[in-house]
Amino acid sequence: MKPYWSETLRGLSPYVPGEQPQQASLLKLNTNENPYAPSPAALAAIRAAADGDLRLYPDPDGSALKRAVAAAHGLDTANVFLGNGSDEVLAHAFLGLLKHPRPLLFPDITYSFYPVYCALYDIAYEEIPLDGEFRVRLGDYARPNGGIVLPNPNAPTGIALSRAELRSLLAGNPDSVVLVDEAYVDFGAESAVPLIGEFANLLVTQTLSKSRALAGLRVGYALGAPDLIGALETVKGCFNSYPLDRLALAGATAALADNAWFADTCGKIAASRDWLTAELGKLGFEVLPSRANFVFARHATRSGASLQQALRARNVLVRRFDRPRIADFLRITVGTQAECETLLASLREIGLD
Amino acid sequence: MKPYWSETLRGLSPYVPGEQPQQASLLKLNTNENPYAPSPAALAAIRAAADGDLRLYPDPDGSALKRAVAAAHGLDTANVFLGNGSDEVLAHAFLGLLKHPRPLLFPDITYSFYPVYCALYDIAYEEIPLDGEFRVRLGDYARPNGGIVLPNPNAPTGIALSRAELRSLLAGNPDSVVLVDEAYVDFGAESAVPLIGEFANLLVTQTLSKSRALAGLRVGYALGAPDLIGALETVKGCFNSYPLDRLALAGATAALADNAWFADTCGKIAASRDWLTAELGKLGFEVLPSRANFVFARHATRSGASLQQALRARNVLVRRFDRPRIADFLRITVGTQAECETLLASLREIGLD
């Protein structure tokens, strides 16, 4: 421990994001980015906002973007909280809504940032094991808790719960917040957003990083009852008054209005995913049934580490988590159809067929 | 207290930023923005970065911008921490470096976000009164402490400490971090940055919001010994892997390279400030000796509230803090020379002469 460091930092291990190589020659299937360029309307809005008004602070409330988010989901702006990527939104939710004497519950195999937030904010938690098929068993969450966090679809498995399943979970936990992290929902899972009017304990987070192809812009949001949004606004107001810059506000607002781009690209990615799933199966992979823009797959005979290394040698990046139960799985982002074909060709070169 | 809110939120009162009106007809002298448009090179870099690569995450380390910041200050990239505005940098510093059993010290009249961070992170603190002339008396900081935070120049007074004074403070507090918040330093105060090699306990924060005219881009940074920077990187890595978007990284990197723009605009603002100070004196104001891009002034006979209201009626926004000792002061941002003249004309209309 360093002499000037606060006790809070003792033992903290930061989240490790996927590699962001600076060379352009790599096929990047490791961080679940969208393979398509973002909406041209978003890019045009950003360029238009790159003017002398950048000398001025942004709107601290992000009112125009809140209206766009609310409109996209049939909600009111009082149901919307904005953040600098959904990671910031999640951080504020962990501190403001999920830190309680009773433990927070989330799956043992899930987004690996959750236990990091818990360590940062000293939040008690229990990891609930996925079942033998890597599915969330909702019955396992019927225990005293201070909150529940579930990504839907789950990451890195890609497996989704139905809205009916989430409804039963919400109804069974009226005293604690259920946070449904919908980073990947737009690629084919059922959103919990229509349940917001019904459940005061439901908080949904979404991001523009995946389905809107704006990972480089850092915009995420939470949706929920005004009381939950108020908690997030309180944390935000004590942390950073202006988390979204003028360019992010402008670009995100325009992106949310481009429904044609959104439907087209999400549809293409979902189709490529289903095709890739089938093709990987033919090469000897077990592929979990994904509703996200990635697949989680392990080969019958080859270790995950050896495959990841062999792909890297062919300039293809995929992600692997060196953790119990899943160390042999590769998490592979769904690229364009041509990129999926390049991946499969590389796997054949490695000797799979 | 709302049922779902964590105990952490109990009694929190968010920082209240200055008004950001949406109508353009107002003369905005209330939030210390730069009156000049940012460097054209920064705007060009942003427009160039508004392309299909926004689908990709930013460099989580912001390496190119770190190199630019380090070069601008004659430091190494290991001395640089980047954040989403210096408010985020400050928040991480409060949690990671200033939260200790002994109380944090800062002036009673200073940036009003400091006690908010303390409330958010449960940090013990003592406010040290400025003296009768609203100056920091360094002797008052010679007491057991877990850290010291001083803006230099101080806000909202604008009064600066010399580098020699800061050196003696640093030497007298080897066991705690001294954070010098240099949001306004470029308008005429002595920076503490040259002391970084000498003092392992010195952390300096700066921002591109004021002297680089990029409040709308949200970029700030901290400079210090690698051990202090490491603490901030640890907090950041447990909070949000990518706090700066691709556009902010590109724009800030270009802005820092435009030395001609920087010297020209800082010089103009400093000249207008000194002229405005003299002119306000002629109208019956006591003006504290400012080294920032704002002045802090109270009139001999008119209340601060009445003047603020009368200026607002003439479409001129200035800031006032309704707090003991300073409720009659107006904090007036230094605009262009023409804007300063408009302000003075409005004050004459109100009946000052």
A26 touches chain B (CB under 8 A): no
Residue B43 is assigned to a structural domain of this protein: no
Give how many domains chain B has, as a whole number.
2
pLDDT at A198 over 80: yes
| Residue percentage of chain A with pLDDT more than 90 | 95
Residues B270 and B319 in one domain: yes
Report whether the peptide linkage leading into residue A156 is cis, meaning its omega lies within 30 degrees of zero. Answer: yes
SS3 letters across chain A? CCCCCCHHHCCCCCCCCCCCCCCCCCEEECCCCCCCCCCHHHHHHHHHHCCHHHHCCCCCCCHHHHHHHHHHHCCCHHHEEEECHHHHHHHHHHHHHCCCCCCEEEECCCCCCHHHHHHHHCCCEEEECCCCCCCCCHHHHCCCCCEEEEECCCCCCCCCCCHHHHHHHHHHCCCCCEEEECCCHHHCCCCCHHHCCCCCCEEEEEECCCCCCCCCCCCEEEEECHHHHHHHHHHHHCCCCCCCCHHHHHHHHHHHHCHHHHHHHHHHHHHHHHHHHHHHHHCCEEECCCCCCEEEEEECCCCHHHHHHHHHHCCEEEECCCCCCCCCEEEEECCCHHHHHHHHHHHHHCCCC
Q: Do B228 and A46 lie within an 8 Å CB cutoff?
A: no
- The H or E element that residue B279 is part of is helix B259-282
Q: What is the pLDDT of residues A14-36, one digit of tens each?
A: 998 888 887 778 999 999 999 99
In sequence order, which residues have a C-beta less than 8 Å from that of residue B162 and are 6 or more positions away?
B190
Q: Do B96 and A9 lie within an 8 Å CB cutoff?
A: yes
What is chain A's length? 353
Q: Which of residues 93-112 of B touch A (CB under 8 A)?
A: 95-100
Q: How far apart are CA B27 and CA B342, in angstroms?
A: 9
Q: Which of residues 44-83 of A touch B (CB under 8 A)?
A: 46-47, 50-60
Residues B32 and B178 in one domain: no
Residue B234 has a pLDDT of: 97
Residue B1 is assigned to a structural domain of this protein: no
Q: What is the pLDDT of residues A254-303, one digit of tens each?
A: 999 999 999 999 999 999 999 999 999 999 999 999 999 999 999 999 99
Residue A2 is assigned to a structural domain of this protein: no
Nearest-Cα residue of chain A relative to residue B58: A216
Residues A268 and A340 in one domain: yes
Residues B69 and B12 in one domain: no
Residues B337 and B190 in one domain: no
CA angle, residues A206, A325, A287, in degrees to nearest 5:
65
Residues B248 and B268 in one domain: no
Residue A194 has a pLDDT of: 98
Q: What is the pLDDT of residues A139-170, one digit of tens each?
A: 999 999 999 999 999 999 999 999 999 999 99
Q: What is the pLDDT of residues A168-187, one digit of tens each?
A: 999 999 999 999 999 999 99
In sequence order, which residues have a C-beta less than 8 Å from that of residue B282 and are 6 or more positions away?
none
How does residue A1 score in pLDDT terms, banded at 50, 70 and 90? low
Picking from A199, A226, A258, the residue at the C-terminal end of a domain is A258
Residues B297 and B239 in one domain: no
B87 touches chain A (CB under 8 A): yes
Domain at B292, CATH number: 3.90.1150.10
Residues A309 and A321 in one domain: yes
Q: Name every chain B residue with its beta carbon within 8 A of the beta carbon of A241.
A: 15, 17, 87
- Which residues of chain B fall short of a pLDDT of 50? none
Residues B153 and B291 in one domain: no
Pick from B46, B91, B227: CB nearest A247: B46
Are B31 and A57 contacting, i.e. CB atoms less than 8 angstroms apart? yes
Work out the number of other CB atoms within 10 angstroms of the CB of residue A133. Answer: 10
pLDDT, average across residues A304-322:
96
Residues B161 and B226 in one domain: yes
ipTM over 0.85? The verdict is: yes
Picking from B230, B258, B286, the residue at the C-terminal end of a domain is B258
Domain at B227, CATH number: 3.40.640.10
Enter the pTM of the model. 0.97
Q: Do A237 and B14 lie within an 8 Å CB cutoff?
A: yes
Residue B5 has a pLDDT of: 96
Picking from B203, B231, B258, the residue at the C-terminal end of a domain is B258
What mean pLDDT, rounded, does chain B reach?
Answer: 96
Residues A12 and A125 in one domain: no
Q: What is the pLDDT of residues B72-121, one digit of tens each?
A: 999 999 999 999 999 999 999 999 999 999 999 999 999 999 999 999 99
Q: What is the pLDDT of residues A302-311, one digit of tens each?
A: 999 999 999 9
Shortest Cα–Cα distance, A23 to chain B (Å): 12
Domain extent at residue B194? 52-258
Q: Do B230 and A2 lie within an 8 Å CB cutoff?
A: yes
Are A250 and A46 contacting, i.e. CB atoms less than 8 angstroms apart? yes
Residue A343 is assigned to a structural domain of this protein: yes
Q: What is the pLDDT of residues A64-86, one digit of tens each?
A: 999 999 999 999 999 999 999 99
